[in-house]
Amino acid sequence: EEELIHMFKGIPFTTRSSPELLKSLETFHAREDDLLLVSYPKSGTHWLAGVITKLYSTQVTLTSPIEFGDLSKLEELNKLSSKRIIPTHLDYNMLPPNFKKKKCKMIYIARNPKDTAVSMYHYYRDNPNLPTVDTWTAFFDLFLKGDVVCGSWFDHFLSWEEHENDKNILFLFYEEMKKDLPKTVKEIVLFLGLNISDSDIQDICKKSSFSQMKSDTEKENSDPSHTVCTLTSNRKLIFRKGTVGDWKNHFTPKQNQRFEEIFNEKMKLSKMAKNLTFEF
Ligand code: A3P
C-alpha cells in the first residue's frame, strides 16, 4: 500500500507521477498560448474542463495533467501542434517557472474544502490507486493534516491566492458555478478573449450539467483512464453527486467545529475565504 504514494518536495504524490517527471518540470517549455486548468483534487476539475473544451471552435487539445506520467510526458506534450489546455493539481510554487515567465493564462477552480474533503473521501474509497481509508473519521483527520495526495488543501489554496491580482489568473468557485453557470461561463469567455453568443453559452451550460456530463461519460467508450486528474483511474467515478453541502451528511457537530477553527486560523488573511463558504 505504501508504494502508492511517494513524497516530492514535501507533498504526497501517487506513483503515477514519476519523480523524474516531477523533477524535470522545473525546465518545462511553456508556450504563450498554453491554458492551465488548476485545482486541488475534487474541486470540479472535470466540470471546468468540460465547459472550456466546448468554448473553442478551433482545434485545441485537453491533455492529461502535466504532473501525470513519466518522462515521456514531456515529448508527448511537445509534439502537440494545437493549443494545449493543460490541467494540473500542482501548488503555485511547484508550477514550472516557464508558465509564469510567459504569463500563460491560468484558471484556478476552488470549492468549499468541507465538500472537497467529503468528495475526496469517497474517491479514496472507490479508487484502487489510492491508499485504503477505513472510516470517514480517519479520513477527516488525514485531510486536516494535509496527509492526503496533493497535500494540504489550505497550502494549495493559499499558494494560489497570493497571485489573485495577477492578470493572467482567473479564480472560479464551484459554488458560484452551481448557482449561476452562465455567469461563470461569461467570465471565462471574457478572460479568454473569446466571442460567443448568449444562446451558445446557454447551450454549453446545458451540455455541462451534472446529469448530462454523467450520462455522456457512461455512454462513451473511449479509454476511461484518460483523464484530467492524476488520481483518476476511471472517469466514471468522477460523477458522484455534484451538489453543494454534502458535508452536512458527513460532518459531526464536533468535526465541524474543529474544521471551522482550523479554517478560520489558516485563512485569517485570505480575502477569498468567504467565497468558499456560501450557504444555500
Ligand atoms: P462530488 O464527489 O461531491 O459529487 P474533480 O473533477 O476535481 O475530480 O471533482 C469531482 C467533483 O465534481 C465531484 O463531486 C463531481 O460529482 C463534481 N462534478 C463533476 N461534474 C460536475 C457537474 N457538471 N456539475 C456539478 N458537479 C460536478
What are 192-247's pLDDT values in tens digits?
999 999 999 999 999 999 999 999 888 877 665 567 776 766 777 889 999 999 99
> Ligand 1 pocket test: which of 184, 235, 238 has the largest number of ligand atoms within 8 Å of its C-beta?
238
Q: Is the CB of 44 under 6 A from ligand 1?
A: yes
* Ligand 1 atom 18: residue of nearest CA: 242
Q: Is the CB of 184 under 6 A from ligand 1?
A: no
Ligand 1 mean position to 214 CA, how many Å?
Answer: 10
| Number of the ligand 1 atom closest to the C-alpha atom of 123 | 2
| Number of the ligand 1 atom closest to the C-alpha atom of 122 | 2
Predicted ipTM of the assembly: 0.99
SS3 content of the chain, % helix, strand, coil (to 5): 50, 10, 40
Question: Going by DSSP bridges, is the β-strand pair 11-14/35-39 parallel, antiparallel, or unpaired?
Answer: unpaired
pLDDT tens digit sequence for 116-172: 999 999 999 988 888 899 999 999 999 999 999 999 999 999 999 999 999 999 999
Rounded Cα distance, 259 and 114, in Å: 8
Stated pTM of the model:
0.96
Q: Is the CB of 232 under 6 A from ligand 1?
A: no
The catalytic residue positions are: 89
* Ligand 1 atom 20: residue of nearest CA: 47
Q: Is the CB of 176 under 6 A from ligand 1?
A: no
Cα–Cα–Cα angle for 196, 201, 204, nearest 5°? 120
Hey, what's the cell of 153? 488543501
